[in-house]
Amino acid sequence: MIFALTDFAQYLLRNGPYSSGPVVAQGAFLATPDKVSQLHGKIHDGDLIACHPLNSFVSWVVMYVTGSLWSHVGILTSECTVLEAITQGSVERPVSCYFDGKHYLLIKPLNSTFTDERRREIVSRGRSRLGIRYGWGQAIRLGLQTICGFHCGWQIRCSIDVVLLLAAFWLVARPFHWLRLVLGILAVGYVAVVFAGNRSRKKMQERMDAANREVEGRTGLPGSN
């Protein structure tokens, strides 16, 4: 709770990890309208684009829970469009929609060893998913796994927030002894679940490290968890 509020304040004020310095240091740029023309001829089928919105509560939640500066990733095409999954579902839209001065973008080109045919396959696979509804169930499940410590993106600050929130409810529920008992059991159970998820986190981290090495080989740029 305390960490979340502090982090959200930093996000709104563009301070700390959300200041321009850390974002630009990863190779990102502020996408302003005048920069759209610079993309023509510089992006190719299959290149990746990571987004960091400046004013989006939902995006902040994603970044806070995952500990990342990027809310989501899309696939670019040589026609300057982006294939991505947003709350409206899987769509293809002009990448210029992000050039409004309210997004930092990070473009990761695929390694030059990728043939044009392989690049077209990546785009074709992305387009085959157009129209599919956004996987809210999967997103919620992933969020719960992360908060409960069964995902390698787990961060101790999220668990502290959960325990503090339960403690706050416990104090407010003073007149209701049965409710305080339930909240106490939930707090102890939650801490036990987080500790029990340690093995799952390690195994998932190993898989993520392997995937990142593959990304580095394909793009020539460092991958990210």
Q: Are 14 and 20 in contact (CB under 8 A)?
A: yes
Pick the most confident of 2-6, 68-72, 221-225: 68-72
Residue 78 in contact with residue 45, Cβ under 8 Å?
A: yes
- 26: its two tokens: 């990863």
pLDDT in the model for residue 148: 87
CA distance 4 to 209: 27
pLDDT at 224 over 50: no
With 50 as the cut, is the pLDDT of residue 10 above it?
A: yes
Per-residue pLDDT band for 216 (boundaries 50, 70, 90) equals low
Residue 153 structure tokens: 């993106």
Confidence class of residue 217 from pLDDT cuts 50, 70 and 90? low
Under the banding of pLDDT at 50, 70 and 90, the label for residue 59 is very high
Q: Kindly list the distances between the CA atom of residue 133 and the CA atoms of 44, 86, 142, 143, in Å, as whole numbers in the listed order.
A: 26, 9, 17, 18
User: Do 73 and 6 meet the contact criterion of CB atoms below 8 Å apart?
Assistant: no
> What mean pLDDT do residues 102-110 have?
92
What would the mean pLDDT of 126-148 be, rounded to a whole number? Answer: 86
Q: What is the DSSP string of 85-101?
A: EETTEEEEEEGGGG-SS
Note the pLDDT of residue 104: 96
**Taking the CA of residue 4 as centre, how many other CA atoms within 13 Å lie in the half-sphere pointing to its CB?**
16
What are the C-alpha distances in Å from 4 to residues 63, 64, 175, 202, 225?
A: 11, 8, 28, 25, 20
Summary mean pLDDT of the chain: 87
Convert the pLDDT of each residue in 156-210 to its tens digit: 888 898 999 999 999 999 889 999 999 999 999 999 999 888 888 788 777 777 7
